[in-house]
Chains A and B, each alone.
Chain A
Amino acid sequence: MDIAIVKYNAGNVASVMYALDRIGVKYQWTDDTSILQQADKVIFPGVGEASTAMAHLKEKGLDQLIPQLKQPVLATCIGMQLLCKHSEENDTTCMGVFDVEVKRFQSSDLKIPHVGWNSIRAIQDNPLMEGLKPEEFVYFVHSYYVPVNPFTTAECNYVQPFSAMLHRDNFYAAQFHAEISGMAGQRIIENFLAI
């Protein structure tokens, strides 16, 4: 199986690579459009700020390529937010695979960002959560969130219920960092690779 990790200038992907090493699969970290198009699976990671990340994707034409991909794609953290329509983070137009708005958490009593382990719950048939407990803990770090919407396949609660995972056609997305979410995170990645 050919796995490609999208290479663009948004955060470090070492943890993602080591997670794949632990599972025992090979991968390429690349921004080459033909390799990305031909891969069996594409992982679209991301850490950082939305407008900067979109600018880096545009430089390489990846903002056009990614929404057109036909094989299963797993987007994580800011990668998931960039697949939405628009983000409140610096008023950024994103790729629009999921027709939803990314919003900033607002709370007078809870700390923002949302950092740490929180439980997620599948709310639709969700192949990525197969074999997991009904409520499973995963690791989050984020200040912006995707509200619960028709694409939501797992939700988490912080300030209010929000989307922990999204799914539409071949696009799967997770707000949390599956690559450092213990055995639960590893199972989610394995489930994605098994699609």
Chain B
Amino acid sequence: MLTKRIIPCLDIKDGRTVKGTNFVDLRDAGDPVELGALYAQEGADELVFLDITATVDDRKTLVNLVREVARHVNIPFTVGGGISSIQDVSALLNAGADKVSINSSAVRNPDLIDELALQFGSQCIIVAIDTRLVDGKDWVHTHGGRKITEIQTIPWAKEVENRGAGEILLTSMDADGTKAGFANALTAHISTHASIPIIASGGAGSMEHFYEVFTDGKADAGLAASIFHFKEISIGDLKNYLSSKGIPMRI
């Protein structure tokens, strides 16, 4: 049986793992290679590395980091942050990333999704959507959630699928950092209207929240960062809990 996936996310800044609340107030959370290998050993189903600085100077650091991670990790991993061209993607895949995640650049230039899917295959192209509720509607945000766009979240999810995205990483900026649970209603709506997998992100604070996102939220995968980094929940315990509640898990 196809299992639901548990994905720890490592936010990377200057080669270190960091975590803050609502994308600000960053705290150091450790060495990305060590953490990645540890998570893989604990039973993580995939890893996501998001480079939240992604300035030009940092790109080389990132590629080197990706290579180190790929050497030590035997599960799929995704790299995102500041990716805006075929060359960026090529460098990361050649360094050993299995997938890349694009966000602001896809909003700026939606054709990029088609181009990347054609060049590398949909299976390695994740489109990340940062969404926030403003005046009763869900709007796509870019630049780490700081900037609102004129695009609504639900039609955008459909569009990225039609353009060739292989998966959607949906982050609720309202829920992110709150530890009050995932945005289940929006996640469920997008997941039931999509034929590609939805990775839900933002708001995980307890094991029950993962249960809810897989049942009420109909997500294919649940992603979280701080609760794993700061060892509030261990991946092994979480997967055992979900399995005991009837959620298919790789144990």
Contact A115/B75 with A14-B94, A48-B121 known, Cβ cut-off 8 Å = no
Give the chain A neighbours of B76 by CB distance below 8 A: 139, 177, 180
The smallest C-beta distance from A94 to any residue of chain B, in angstroms, reads 18
Contact A18/B70 with A12-B93, A111-B220, A118-B3 known, Cβ cut-off 8 Å = yes
A12's partner among B2, B75, B94, B167 (CB-CB below 8 A) is: B94
With an 8 A cutoff between CB atoms, is A25 at the interface? no
- Find out whether the CB atom of B5 lies under 8 angstroms from the CB atom of A19: no
The smallest C-beta distance from A25 to any residue of chain B, in angstroms, reads 15
Binary per-residue interface labels of chain A (140-171) against chain B in the complex, 1 for a CB within 8 Å, 0 otherwise: 01100000000000000110000000000000
B191's nearest neighbour on chain A, judged by CB, is A111
Binary per-residue interface labels of chain A (46-89) against chain B in the complex, 1 for a CB within 8 Å, 0 otherwise: 01110000000000000000000000000000000000000000
The smallest C-beta distance from B190 to any residue of chain A, in angstroms, reads 12
Binary per-residue interface labels of chain B (206-244) against chain A in the complex, 1 for a CB within 8 Å, 0 otherwise: 000000000000001100000000000000000000000
User: Between A and B, how many residue pairs show CB distances below 8 Å?
Assistant: 83
CB proximity to B under 8 Å, residues A98-143: 111-119, 137, 139, 141-142
State how many residues of chain A have any CB contact under 8 Å with chain B: 34
Binary per-residue interface labels of chain B (113-147) against chain A in the complex, 1 for a CB within 8 Å, 0 otherwise: 00000001111100000000000000000000000
In whole angstroms, how far apart are the Cα atoms of A107 and B83 in the complex? 33
With an 8 A cutoff between CB atoms, is B45 at the interface? yes
Give the chain A neighbours of B121 by CB distance below 8 A: 11, 47-49
In whole angstroms, how far apart are the Cα atoms of A157 and B1 in the complex? 6
- Find out whether the CB atom of B75 lies under 8 angstroms from the CB atom of A182: yes
Give the chain B neighbours of A11 by CB distance below 8 A: 120-121
With an 8 A cutoff between CB atoms, is A181 at the interface? yes
With an 8 A cutoff between CB atoms, is B60 at the interface? no
Tell me whether chain B's interface is mostly helix, strand or loop, or mixed. loop
With an 8 A cutoff between CB atoms, is A33 at the interface? no
CB proximity to B under 8 Å, residues A19-40: 19, 21-22
State how many residues of chain B have any CB contact under 8 Å with chain A: 31
- Find out whether the CB atom of B74 lies under 8 angstroms from the CB atom of A183: yes
Contact A118/B93 with A11-B121, A183-B74 known, Cβ cut-off 8 Å = no
In whole angstroms, how far apart are the Cα atoms of A142 and B4 in the complex? 17
- Find out whether the CB atom of B123 lies under 8 angstroms from the CB atom of A47: yes
B167's nearest neighbour on chain A, judged by CB, is A115
Give the chain B neighbours of A119 by CB distance below 8 A: 1
- Find out whether the CB atom of A180 lies under 8 angstroms from the CB atom of B75: yes
A118's nearest neighbour on chain B, judged by CB, is B2
A182's partner among B74, B94, B98, B123 (CB-CB below 8 A) is: B74
Contact A14/B74 with A116-B221, A117-B3, A118-B1 known, Cβ cut-off 8 Å = no
The smallest C-beta distance from B75 to any residue of chain A, in angstroms, reads 6
In whole angstroms, how far apart are the Cα atoms of A7 and B152 in the complex? 43
With an 8 A cutoff between CB atoms, is B166 at the interface? yes
CB proximity to A under 8 Å, residues B162-181: 166-167
B123's partner among A15, A21, A113 (CB-CB below 8 A) is: A113
A157's nearest neighbour on chain B, judged by CB, is B1
With an 8 A cutoff between CB atoms, is A185 at the interface? yes
With an 8 A cutoff between CB atoms, is B250 at the interface? yes
The smallest C-beta distance from B219 to any residue of chain A, in angstroms, reads 12
With an 8 A cutoff between CB atoms, is B96 at the interface? yes
The smallest C-beta distance from A163 to any residue of chain B, in angstroms, reads 16
With an 8 A cutoff between CB atoms, is B40 at the interface? yes
Q: Can you give 26 A-B contacts (C-beta < 8 A)?
A: A11-B120, A14-B70, A14-B96, A15-B96, A18-B71, A19-B74, A22-B71, A47-B121, A47-B123, A47-B124, A113-B196, A115-B220, A116-B2, A116-B3, A117-B2, A117-B3, A117-B250, A118-B1, A118-B3, A139-B75, A139-B76, A141-B123, A158-B2, A181-B74, A181-B75, A182-B75
Known A116-B3, A142-B123; 7 more pairs at CB < 8 Å: A111-B195, A115-B166, A115-B196, A115-B220, A118-B1, A139-B76, A186-B74
